[in-house]
Amino acid sequence: MSQIIITLNDREIVCQEGDSVLDALLRAGINIPFSCRQGNCQSCMIRSLRGVPPSAAQTGLKDAQLHQHHFLACLCYPQQSMTVSLTPAEAFFTEARVIGKTLLNAETMLLSLQCWEALTYYAGQFVNLMREDGLVRSYCIANSRDDGYQLNFHIRRLADGRFSQWVHQELAVGDTLAISEPRGLCYYLPGNPQQNILLVGTGSGLAPLAGIVGDALRHDHQGSIHLYHGSREMDGLYWIDEMRTLARRHANFHYTPCVSRGDAPHTVAKGRANEVAMSTLPSLRDWRIYLSGHPDMVNQARRQAFLKGAAFPDMYVDAFHVASSTLD
Q: How confident is the model at residue 60 (pLDDT cuts 50, 70, 90)?
A: confident
Q: What is the C-alpha to C-alpha distance for residues 34 and 297, in angstroms, rounded to an integer?
A: 19
Q: Nearest Cα to 171, choosing from 123, 126, 139?
A: 139
Q: Please tell me the predicted confidence (pLDDT) of residue 147.
A: 73
Q: Please tell me the predicted confidence (pLDDT) of residue 91.
A: 54
Q: Where in the chain is the domain with CATH 3.40.50.80?
A: 197-319
Q: What is the C-alpha to C-alpha distance for residues 316 and 297, in angstroms, rounded to an integer?
A: 14
C-alpha dihedral over 9, 179, 155, 132, to 10 degrees? 70
Q: How confident is the model at residue 104 (pLDDT cuts 50, 70, 90)?
A: very high
Q: Please tell me the predicted confidence (pLDDT) of residue 191.
A: 83
Q: Per residue in 109-162, pLDDT tens? A: 999 999 998 888 889 989 999 999 989 999 999 998 877 799 999 999 998 899
CATH architecture of 197-319: 3-Layer(aba) Sandwich (3.40)
Q: Nearest Cα to 76, choosing from 24, 11, 3, 1?
A: 24
Distance from chain centroid for Cα 226: 19
Topology (CATH) of 4-85: Ubiquitin-like (UB roll) (3.10.20)
Q: Is the sign of the CA dihedral 300, 306, 309, 314 positive or negative? A: positive
The stretch 94-103 carries a mean pLDDT of 96
Q: Please tell me the predicted confidence (pLDDT) of residue 244.
A: 97
C-alpha dihedral over 269, 274, 277, 279, to 10 degrees? -90
Q: Please tell me the predicted confidence (pLDDT) of residue 109.
A: 97
CB 75 within 8 A of CB 55: no
CB 294 within 8 A of CB 327: yes
Q: Which of 64-73, 116-125, 145-154, 184-193 has the lowest mean pLDDT?
A: 64-73
Q: Please tell me the predicted confidence (pLDDT) of residue 215.
A: 94
How many CB atoms are located within 10 Å of the residue 34 CB?
Answer: 21
Q: What is the C-alpha to C-alpha distance for residues 66 and 69, in angstroms, rounded to an integer?
A: 5
Topology (CATH) of 93-180: Elongation Factor Tu (Ef-tu); domain 3 (2.40.30)
CB 323 within 8 A of CB 161: yes
Q: Please tell me the predicted confidence (pLDDT) of residue 90.
A: 45
Q: Where in the chain is the domain with CATH 2.40.30.10?
A: 93-180
pLDDT at 65 over 80: no
Q: Please tell me the predicted confidence (pLDDT) of residue 288.
A: 94
Q: How confident is the model at residue 1 (pLDDT cuts 50, 70, 90)?
A: low
CB 181 within 8 A of CB 249: no
Q: Please tell me the predicted confidence (pLDDT) of residue 241.
A: 96
Q: Please tell me the predicted confidence (pLDDT) of residue 89.
A: 43
C-alpha dihedral over 156, 159, 162, 168, to 10 degrees? 50
Q: Where in the chain is the domain with CATH 3.10.20.30?
A: 4-85
pLDDT at 323 over 70: no
CB 1 within 8 A of CB 77: no
pLDDT at 314 over 50: yes
Q: Which of 37-51, 201-215, 279-293 has the lowest mean pLDDT?
A: 37-51
Q: Per residue in 298-307, pLDDT tens? A: 999 999 999 9
Q: What is the C-alpha to C-alpha distance for residues 200 and 26, in angstroms, rounded to an integer?
A: 32
Q: How confident is the model at residue 319 (pLDDT cuts 50, 70, 90)?
A: low
If DSSP codes are grouped into helix, strand and coil, which group holds residue 313? helix
Q: Per residue in 228-274, pLDDT tens? A: 999 999 999 999 999 999 999 999 999 999 999 988 899 999 999 99
The stretch 91-111 carries a mean pLDDT of 92
The stretch 305-311 carries a mean pLDDT of 96
Q: Please tell me the predicted confidence (pLDDT) of residue 324.
A: 39
Q: Per residue in 153-180, pLDDT tens? A: 999 999 889 999 999 999 999 999 999 8
Question: Phi and psi (nearest 5°) for 67?
Answer: -60, -30
Q: What is the C-alpha to C-alpha distance for residues 328 and 127, in angstroms, rounded to an integer?
A: 25
Q: Please tell me the predicted confidence (pLDDT) of residue 63.
A: 55
CB 277 within 8 A of CB 300: no
CB 255 within 8 A of CB 276: no
Average pLDDT, the chain: 90
